[in-house]
A and B are shown apart, each in its own frame.
Chain A
Amino acid sequence: MQPVSRHNSWFLVFFLFTIILFLANLWFGSVLISWDRVLHVLFHSNSNDRLAEVIVNQYRLPQTITALSTGILLSLSGLILQTLFRNPLAGPSVLGISSGASLGVALVVLAGSAFGGWFSMTSLVGNLSMIFAAFAGALLVLLVIIFVSARIGNILTVLIIGIMLGYAVSAVVGVLQFFSGAEELHAYVVWGLGSFSKTTSFQSAILLIIALSGFIMTMLYVKPLNALLLGNNYAQSIGFHTKRINTILILSTGLLVSSGTAFTGPIAFLGLAVPHLARGFFKTSQHGILVPATVLMGASLALLCNLLARLPGTDISLPINAVTSLVGAPVIIWVIIKGRHFKTM
């Protein structure tokens, strides 16, 4: 088959996949609501089916949109970082950004108890302050990374500093955990397991806008990203200001990851694995193909994980991180062993 038509059929497959999974996420859950009721609630603003309206519009829809958006922005960040660092193991967690977010949340949740309980987890203010704390922590680490990368030309050094920052921050979080009370510790651990279900409709809409602008921004950088595949020197020699491009791309992926992590907690695996899956299916490193492919696959995989986490037909739901890792790890191992990646790593 011609590569172009092969690409187009994969695009179609994953596009349909995303739509089906999106609808499935609205349909399946602990409460059984029939198809027509879901559709009716979705497309009619004033229905008298109160139960379906509350469940679909206030719970399932924001959760589904959050899963979709988080899938998109984490996968895109992973793709950009892997190209930027020319390292297949780079992902949103390597820059220390998730750790930064954890530090922010740990400070708000745990330090409260460590310094004498001024903060209540259950209030709406509590949820919002966790989001802000995560965002602030992530931004703080991001600023350090940007500061370093603007000064040091070598992109690998930036990677190593990001990983080291991650360790340092985790150590601080560890100390805070050690001194905090059981209830706060539980709240922190639950946040750390990640969740797509803590967002309001408004917050999920914001996430969707962020994810889509991340997509548009990345599409504008397709040409420099392709040039970076040859390495910094070649990219420079064909006219790209690599230092500036590196800084801009780190800043934007940092913002994507920070906002994602702020709303959902750290989500494992997606950002690292989806770009590999996209390369494996589309058999290319061209970002013109890879960026939309990563967006579609990231969205559908996150939706799939969210669906599996709810264990349809039961009342329990699993932490999303457990599912992303359990679904993702075997898939990525299969792709690596089967694909060409195996020979270069």
Chain B
Amino acid sequence: MNNRQLHIERLTNGFFTGNKQVVLQDNISASLQPGNLVCLLGPNGAGKSTLMRTLSGFQKILQGAVLFSGQNLDAMSLKQRSKEVAVVFTGQLNDPFLTAYEVVSMGRFPYASFYGRLKKQDLHFIDETLERLHVYHLRDKVFYQLSDGEKQKMLLARALVQDTPFLFLDEPVAFIDSPGKIEIMEWLAHFAHEQNKGVLITTHDIELALDYADQLWLLNRDKAFQKGVPEDLVLKGLINKYFDREEVVFDPQKGRFGTDHPKAQEVVYLKGDQLEIQWLCRALSRIGKKVKKVSLQENDIPFYFFTENHYTFSDQKGNELHFNTIGDVIAFNNGGVKAVGSESVSLNDK
């Protein structure tokens, strides 16, 4: 079992247009181990999908080699490939009558009879997979009428019933709502860790990738291929190097992207560590304040704190303003004065 892995050896990533060869990256070497979830990251046009297509055998290898469990991809028959790797690709399936069940069951075609008939254990496996992904009740619906999230789960089920050691998914969480993204990433991690599959996905959601990937592969048109554990790549500054733009940068403290507000000059202090203060911090930095968190004992002014269900602002002169919601705080800051209705803002003149 220990040679069940995907080896990429000095691969040239690129494609042919007509007779011209377009090379995106040279010399990619990496391996995908069973039990690992690897996220392939890179900006648009970096060649993620091209690499996925090459690894799946959908396009010619320009140079180098791809080995599945020691076997060269080029030398494998399509039948052999279909039992090594299952794929989920982007693109629409608009057939007006094809049901979700029909789509999923085609994942068992490599094991089916000449006429496409499935054995009892195949049908059982399909039902089991649908149940595990909580989509069993949707199996008789027409595929294209499902929501994007449901479609993605069905395509994932289709790939799973193919029962391969490797799973390749191109953008599995694009067009899916946030809880749905987490759900799918949890499953992918589960299939990698519990069922010992080698899972490779591409995504634009770097923050999600940092949370779930066992390894990241970084692609960029002008930079060398990089791979490593997400945390190491962050600490080495590689996430910044590969993804930062002029205005948008990756903040290693927060583990997410944000803008560097160049105009943020006015400093305000936040006292306390309640949830409300943390979200107030986000709101104030969004409108261009330089926010610093301090403990309740410090004397820095002006400052905000939160008690008894309201936000209190205290300025240099010792005046205090009270707000019921963060919305009121923002309105106050934007209007310069107590622009909000008198109920929510009351000067400290009691």
Contact = CB atoms under 8 A, between A and B. Distances in A.
Contacts of A223: 109, 112, 114-116
Contacts of A239: 78-79, 81-83, 109-110
B87 A226 contact: no
B94 interface: yes
A288 B115 contact: yes
Contacts of A283: 97
Contacts of B112: 223
B56 interface: yes
Interface string A217-252: 000001100110111011011111100000000000
A233 B58 contact: yes
Given A227-B109, A233-B87, A340 B79 contact: no
B96 A343 contact: yes
B97 A340 contact: yes
Contacts of A34: none
Q: How large is the interface on A (under 10, 10 to 19, 20 to 34, 35 or more residues)?
A: 20 to 34
Interface centre among B81, B95, B97, B142 (most CB of A within 10 A): B97
B81 A237 contact: yes
B97 A230 contact: no
Contacts of B95: 229, 285, 344
A230 B93 contact: yes
A223 B91 CA distance: 22
B106 interface: yes
Contacts of B102: 226, 285-286
Given A222-B115, A227-B106, A237 B96 contact: no
Interface centre among B58, B116, B144 (most CB of A within 10 A): B116
Contacts, number: 77
Contacts of A285: 95-98, 102
Given A238-B106, A239-B110, A233 B89 contact: yes
A230 B144 contact: no
Given A230-B106, A231-B91, A237 B82 contact: yes
B283 interface: no
Interface in A66-85: none
Contacts of A344: 94-96, 144
B162 interface: yes
A288 B112 CA distance: 14
B42 interface: no
A281 B109 CA distance: 27
A231 B93 contact: yes
B116 A222 contact: yes
A291 to B, nearest CB: 12
B96 A238 contact: no
Contacts of A222: 115-116
Contacts of A237: 56, 58, 81-82, 85-87, 162
Contact of B97 (A233, A240, A284): A284
A335 B96 CA distance: 13
A14 to B, nearest CB: 18
Nearest to B93: A230
Nearest to B80: A239
Nearest to B170: A233
B98 to A, nearest CB: 5
Contacts of B97: 279, 283-285, 340
Contacts of A229: 93, 95, 98
Contacts of A312: none
A339 interface: yes
A240 to B, nearest CB: 7
B107 interface: yes
B67 to A, nearest CB: 18
Interface in A276-315: 279, 283-286, 288
Contacts of A233: 56, 58, 87, 89, 91
Contacts of A186: none
Nearest to B140: A3
A281 to B, nearest CB: 11
Nearest to A225: B116
Nearest to A237: B87
A230 to B, nearest CB: 6
Given A240-B78, A285-B96, A234 B89 contact: yes
A230 B114 CA distance: 18
A341 B96 CA distance: 6
B82 A238 contact: yes
B103 interface: yes
A234 B96 contact: no
A202 B36 CA distance: 67
B15 to A, nearest CB: 12
Interface centre among A236, A239, A279 (most CB of B within 10 A): A239
Contacts of A339: 96
Contacts of B106: 226-227, 230, 234, 238
B115 A238 contact: no
Contacts of A238: 82, 106-107, 109-110, 162
Contact of B78 (A226, A236, A279, A284): A236
14 contacts: A222-B115, A233-B89, A237-B58, A238-B82, A238-B109, A238-B110, A239-B81, A239-B110, A241-B78, A284-B97, A340-B96, A340-B97, A343-B96, A344-B95
Interface of A: 222-223, 226-227, 229-231, 233-234, 236-241, 279, 283-286, 288, 339-341, 343-344
Which 3 residue pairs of A and B lie closest in terms of their CB atoms, listed nearest first? A239-B82, A223-B116, A340-B96
Given A230-B93, A239-B78, A285-B98, 18 more contacts: A222-B116, A230-B106, A233-B58, A233-B89, A233-B91, A236-B78, A237-B56, A237-B81, A238-B106, A238-B107, A238-B109, A240-B78, A240-B109, A284-B97, A285-B102, A340-B142, A341-B96, A344-B144
